[in-house]
Structure 1
Amino acid sequence: KLASRPLFIGVDGWGGHSIRADFAERMLANDGDSPRRKATFMTGDEFLYEMAWKDTEGMTRAQLETTDKIGIKDPTGLYGFGGYFAHKIVPWPEDNEKGWYGFKNLTIFRYAEVLLMYAEACAMTSDNDGLQYLNAIQNRAGSAHVSSALTLDEVKNEKAFEMWIEGVRFPDMVRWGDTDGIVNNGKNIPTTYDAFFKLGEPKHRLYVEYSNPNKGQTGFVKGKHEYFAYPKVAIDRNPNLQQNPSGL
């Protein structure tokens, strides 16, 4: 897909863990160029001109703009990408052992989530003690936005930014009843192209087009998808077990 492998990537690249453009734009507005934001995702400009590409060391910005050694070379583009590129959890070369994914560390639970859960409990009970812990995460992250008041919305936003792709977002949205933003998942799928390769333009320019390849029902359905289905083996072993609506 790419003109060459970015040097910071240890194995095959991004795979399927793209980042939603609307989320990336919200985090940009919240964090700016914080260390956390830059460790979470790259903008299109950062992807092209700040990332280390093979055989481009010493090139100026002007040279990079016209070289065929960077960018999205495949004319079919990067499917599922909306102009932003996830940085978090991409395996670096030093993470790659024995020729494949040999990660040295596996995160089970993060202290930041403990602080956010405490801040949420405080926000729900009008206890301002949680503000200091919410602020501690924001200050550590270098966020441009530091909360001046402890509200549930402030905690929700911070948890979305801090815990992206760590497996807690969906349960949180269901628990909070905040699933309206995912009812259209599976529709308007983005693909990012590079006009340098795709359109023959003289300089690299990323652009996004949208398509709707999925037929039928997609996205979150209230009253159906709040719970996972029971596996068939569980139903077989206990015929009195009533299947969740998601499995019907």
Structure 2
Amino acid sequence: MEKIVKILSLVVLIAVFSGCEDNLDRQPLSQIPESGYFKTAQDLEFFTNPLYNMLNVANLDREQSDHLVQMTLSEIIIGGNRRTVPNSGGGWDWGHLRRINTLLARVDQCEDEAAVLKYSGVARFFRAMFYFEKVKRFGDVPWYDTELGPSDEALYKPRDPRELVMTKMIEDIDYAIANLPAETSVFRVNKWTAMALKSRFCLYEGTFRKYHGGEEASKFLELAAEAARTLIDGNQYRLYTAGGVDNAYFTLFSQDDADAGEFILAFDYSNSPRVNHDASSFTMSAAQGRPSYTKKFVNTYLMKDGSRFTEQDGWQTMTFIDEVQDRDPRLTQSIRNPKFTLSDNRPFPNKFAVSVDGYHPIKFLQDVTKGYDVRVGYSYNDLPIFRYAEVLLNYAEAKAELGTLTQADVDISIKLLRDRVGMPNLDVAAANTNPDPYLLSTEAGYTNVTAANIGALLEVRRERAIELVQEGFRFDDLVRWKAGYCIDQPLVGIYFPGAGEYDLTGDGTTDLILYTQGNKPTDQVGVEMYEIGMPVNNGGIILTEGTKGNVFFHSNIELAGFNEQRDYLYPIPINERSLNPNLNQNPGWNDGLSF
């Protein structure tokens, strides 16, 4: 019903305001009947409904980073001159902001005072979210809080300082918190959604300033912790636990409808009317991305008893069946594992046919008994935008970065996440006494972290990466921590000790055969066969140590590396700078323009 309301609202808006949604420099919304619209709560609702399209999170599951790669590496992973300045687009779009400012300029025409406050709160929530995305991407950006026409000089002003934009964002989100309804709703913003957004962007800004240099980092970290704690203390949300420790995490993301207890805000996908994404086909189809987690990331999952996998004997050379045993249950609820079967008992695609390095994601895989459409690209399970788990992690991280994280703080945040999967709680004192060397290593960890509570901080980062994997956070996290160097760490997969037959499902049947040149066995139905050392494009498999080692699908790709002086911000498109010479380019990006 929610989706139908959104679509009907959009149809009405198109009829009334055709052509009013594009850029800031469009003509004023002249087709708005000034004397006949913005008069009722329904008018305001219809006008704000299109803003929810900002929340469409299709493809959030496939963002590439040091934790997840695809068959074709992204420009960010390859780096160097593969990243260029676009002529247009590139995230420098302002259409939604125009709608927001139009609403705020006219909202007082409504005679319903409660509606004025509510929909002003909706608009200012979305303006804070809009500018958060712009600041993350570009740093300094022009702040606009009024409608602009084509002759307005403000269209050609320089970028405003990040400090001013963040100050305005806090004003907007505080207004939204004060004036949005307290009633929870999975598909509509409310005061709790606004608190979640505030905790998110204040944590981002606080850590960005701490690691990149900037004033008042602690102020933003304190605001993040305060917003998260207020939401926690509000007792409106709880973690989803149905199905127990071995199923709850997977089911949370695979079920059709967003769980109203944990999903603070979700995007409402449906099969009727058809509003879909393709998360299931992304992970099941050999014709799509063939995604894989990286060995480095999988190594960070703890053992089920809370000990570190990377301190187990022989962990570097464990084969797949052995390494996934007795681990944090979120591992086997996030990747295809020996116990995993499809809900309709259909054969699952072979591992390397659909996952380049063998750690095959299953998060967001919808129940395939829903029909063929789900498998070929029409999934309709709701996807998260704000989740209670993230708020718990925001709280713990803000406190850890401030150096004030206590065991009591962990007990109301990290402990809940670990309880869901039957894992022991994080012991703050023990973690600080013995920080994880793997998470500090140059090969797999964070080398620029120094703090008295470094052990607990590293554990919070571990927890964040595992709990929020494939939810669109990882690259942003690396940016704010000034940890782009993590992208340059090894991007390899599961380990094979050499040629031979392998059972990757634990059912006693051979699934995969690796062989050396000239020793190919007879083809077997349902068994993958790869020649060791043969290029992957020719049906072979590359291992890091020649005839043994970790799967290295991208061995033929020359990675230029993350550019520390350039890659933390995106470039402003060439056409935008040509139209407005007052827009200076971000450091390190050469667009050929000089003003």
Q: Pick the aligned partner of 2:395 from 114, 118, 125.
A: 118
* Map 1:207-246 → 2, pairs under 5 A: 209-210=551-552, 211-215=554-558, 217-245=559-587
Q: CA deviation at 1:182?
A: 1.1
Task: Give the TM-score normalised by structure 1.
Answer: 0.69
C-alpha distance in structure 1 between counterparts of 2:495 and 2:328, whole Å: 27
C-alpha distance in structure 2 between counterparts of 1:116 and 1:39, whole Å: 20
| Matched AA of 2:466 | F
Q: CA deviation at 1:52?
A: 4.3
Partner of 1:88: 363
C-alpha distance in structure 2 between counterparts of 1:99 and 1:79, whole Å: 14
Q: CA deviation at 1:222?
A: 1.1
| Matched AA of 1:39 | Q
Q: Select between 19-28 and 205-214 the one with higher mean Cα deviation.
A: 205-214
Q: Percent identity?
A: 25
1:51 pairs with 2:51: no
Distance 1:244 1:87, change over 3 A: same
| 8 Å CA contact 2:566, 2:588 repeated in 1 | yes
* Two-structure CA RMSD over aligned residues (Å): 4.0
1:136 pairs with 2:438: no
Distance 1:241 1:176, change over 3 A: same
| 8 Å CA contact 1:229, 1:247 repeated in 2 | yes
| Matched AA of 1:223 | Q
Q: CA deviation at 1:232?
A: 3.4
Q: CA deviation at 1:242?
A: 1.9
CA-to-partner distance for each residue in 1:210-231, whole Å, 9 max, x for gaps? 252224x433221211112223
Q: CA deviation at 1:50?
A: 4.0
Partner of 1:42: 336
Q: What SS is found at the alignment partner of 1:23?
A: helix
Task: Give the TM-score normalised by structure 2.
Answer: 0.32
C-alpha distance in structure 2 between counterparts of 1:200 and 1:179, whole Å: 44
| Matched AA of 2:586 | N
Q: Select between 10-19 and 175-184 the one with higher mean Cα deviation.
A: 10-19
CA-to-partner distance for each residue in 1:160-182, whole Å, 9 max, x for gaps? 10011111111112212233321
Q: Pick the aligned partner of 2:462 from 148, 157, 182.
A: 157
C-alpha distance in structure 2 between counterparts of 1:163 and 1:235, whole Å: 36
Distance 1:92 1:213, change over 3 A: farther
C-alpha distance in structure 2 between counterparts of 1:149 and 1:227, whole Å: 34
Partner of 1:106: 383
Q: Select between 148-157 and 28-37 the one with higher mean Cα deviation.
A: 28-37
Partner of 1:167: 472
Bigger proportion of residues as helix: 2
- Using CA pairs below 8 Å that are at least 6 residues apart, which structure has the higher relative contact order? 1
C-alpha distance in structure 2 between counterparts of 1:109 and 1:138, whole Å: 19
Distance 1:22 1:176, change over 3 A: same
Q: What SS is found at the alignment partner of 1:109?
A: strand
CA-to-partner distance for each residue in 1:49-82, whole Å, 9 max, x for gaps? 64349887xxxxxxxxxxxx77749xxx548632
C-alpha distance in structure 1 between counterparts of 2:583 and 2:405, whole Å: 41
C-alpha distance in structure 2 between counterparts of 1:18 and 1:98, whole Å: 18
| Matched AA of 1:40 | S
Q: Select between 26-35 and 237-246 the one with higher mean Cα deviation.
A: 26-35
Q: Give the number of aligned pairs.
A: 219
C-alpha distance in structure 1 between counterparts of 2:329 and 2:479, whole Å: 29
- Structure 2: gaps of 5 or more residues: 1-253, 255-278, 307-325, 430-455, 497-501, 503-510, 530-540, 542-549, 591-595
| Matched AA of 2:473 | V
- Structure 1: gaps of 5 or more residues: 1-7, 57-68
C-alpha distance in structure 2 between counterparts of 1:246 and 1:40, whole Å: 37
| Matched AA of 1:131 | V
